[in-house]
């Protein structure tokens, strides 16, 4: 089982859109996928039409009083399940701090699911916190959406410096341009500078498209609702890069999942 996290210190950069579409595309390709909506705002849960509530809240999951697999919900798509958000996730730092090894707690919670899922996708809240550290220790690949602005570059520097201070296990970091507008000179200049600084940047850039913004109206991944559209093509390219970087083997069996509801 591989763990992929859509993460950035900044908010509003496209983490949820990334997590939702990558999770759907992986499931469509035949992988057994779990998406965990770790953001108390519950945007990913909303998009998949699942109530953002976990019985006992985040504390029950972190302490082990409620098994993680007991809180998992099916989505309308084959091979794709969701561990919903809960507003109590805003206190996850406090609950993690009560654990003996808080930084490895998330990975330990997910490890028993290895027989059920090939890929876990984490949709993370924007922050640098104890939860963030637990995510970074759990993830095999960190997908970092970046808007080409000076402040975004600053947060990437903070993130890479933060990870460099880890001892032992570190995730691989793959940054990619999000809400990219080639008409803007600043976007083009910053996009040209970052690879020269040694940061691993995906060849795929996700442009600023109104179709992606409309996902919240359709409440479905754009890769499912408009699979032949321009936005879906970009996300498919990003998924291909992420799959390669994460070292995922070929999917276990079966044809690609379609739009049919899961049983």
* 90 to 59, 115, 148, 162, 247: CA distances (angstroms): 10, 29, 29, 22, 32
Instruction: Give me the pLDDT at residue 95, please.
Output: 93
User: Which tokens go with 98?
Assistant: 């009560």
> How many whole angstroms separate alpha carbon 123 and alpha carbon 244?
20
The first and second tokens of residue 12, run together, are: 């509003």
Choose the weakest-confidence range: 16-20, 110-114, 191-195: 191-195
Tokens of 113: 């699911």
d(CA 240, CA 141): 13
What is the predicted pLDDT for the residue at 254? 53
Q: What is the pLDDT of residue 114?
A: 93
The pLDDT of residue 144 is above 80: yes
pLDDT digits (tens, 9 = 90+) for 111-138: 999 999 999 999 999 988 999 999 999 9
- State the pLDDT at residue 198: 59
Query: Which of 80, 163, 95, 93 lies closest to 131 in space, CA to CA?
Result: 93
Q: Over the stretch 200-244, which tens digit does the pLDDT of each residue have?
A: 889 999 998 989 988 989 899 999 999 999 999 999 999 999 999
Complete DSSP assignment for 70-139: GS-EE-SSTTEEEE---GGGGGHHHHHHTSSSGGGHHHHHHGGGGGT-SEEEEEPPSS-SHHHHHHHHH-
Q: Copy the structure tokens of residue 135.
A: 């995510």
pLDDT given at position 255:
47
Residue with structure tokens 């109530």?
Answer: 51
Please state, in angstroms and rounded to a whole number, the distance separating the CA atoms of residues 55 and 66: 8
Q: At residue 195, does pLDDT exceed 70? A: no
pLDDT for the residue numbered 156: 85
DSSP 8-state assignment for residue 56: T
Residue from 50, 67, 47, 138 nearest 101 by CA = 138
Q: What's residue 149's pLDDT?
A: 82
Residue 161's pLDDT band, with cuts at 50, 70 and 90, is confident
Selection from 112, 174, 100, 162 nearest residue 137 by Cα: 162
Query: Rounded mean pLDDT of the chain?
Result: 89
Tell me whether strands 73-74 and 80-83 are parallel, antiparallel or unpaired. antiparallel
Domain residue limits, the chain: 2-246
CA distances from 188 to 10, 18, 113, 153 (A): 20, 21, 42, 14
> What's the pLDDT tens digit per position in 27-72?
999 999 999 999 999 999 999 999 999 999 999 999 999 999 999 9
Most confident range (mean pLDDT) of 81-95, 191-205, 207-221 is 81-95
Q: Which residue has the higher pLDDT, 34 or 184?
A: 34
Count of Cβ atoms closer than 10 Å to residue 235 Cβ: 25
Residue 155 has pLDDT above 70, yes or no: yes
Which CATH superfamily hosts domain 2-246?
Answer: P-loop containing nucleotide triphosphate hydrolases (3.40.50.300)
Mean pLDDT to the nearest integer, 163-167: 80
- The average pLDDT across 169-193 equals 84
DSSP state of 213: H
């Amino acid at each position: 089982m591989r763990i992929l996290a859509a993460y950035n210190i900044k908010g509003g950069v496209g983490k949820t859109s990334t997590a939702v579409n990558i999770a759907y595309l992986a499931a469509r390709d035949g992988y057994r996928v779990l998406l965990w909506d770790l953001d108390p705002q519950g945007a990913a849960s909303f998009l998949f039409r699942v109530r953002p509530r976990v019985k006992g809240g985040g504390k029950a999951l972190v302490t082990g009083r409620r098994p993680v697999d007991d809180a998992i919900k099916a989505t309308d798509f084959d091979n794709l399940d969701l561990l919903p958000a809960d507003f109590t996730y805003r206190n996850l730092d406090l609950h993690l701090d009560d654990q003996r090894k808080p930084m490895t707690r998330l990975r330990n919670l997910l490890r028993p699911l290895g027989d059920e899922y090939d890929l876990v996708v984490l949709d993370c809240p924007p922050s640098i916190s104890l939860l963030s550290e637990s995510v970074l220790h759990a993830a095999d690949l960190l997908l970092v959406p970046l808007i080409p602005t000076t402040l975004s570059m600053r947060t990437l520097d903070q993130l890479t410096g933060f990870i460099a201070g880890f001892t032992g296990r570190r995730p691989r970091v793959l940054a990619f341009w999000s809400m990219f507008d080639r008409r803007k000179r600043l976007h083009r200049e910053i996009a040209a500078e970052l690879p020269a600084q040694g940061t691993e940047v995906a060849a795929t850039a996700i442009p600023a498209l109104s179709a992606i913004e409309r996902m919240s109206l359709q409440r479905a991944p754009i890769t499912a609702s408009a699979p032949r559209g321009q936005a879906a093509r970009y996300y498919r390219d990003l998924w291909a890069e992420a799959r390669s970087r994460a070292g995922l083997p070929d999917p276990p069996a079966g044809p690609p999942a379609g739009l049919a509801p899961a049983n």
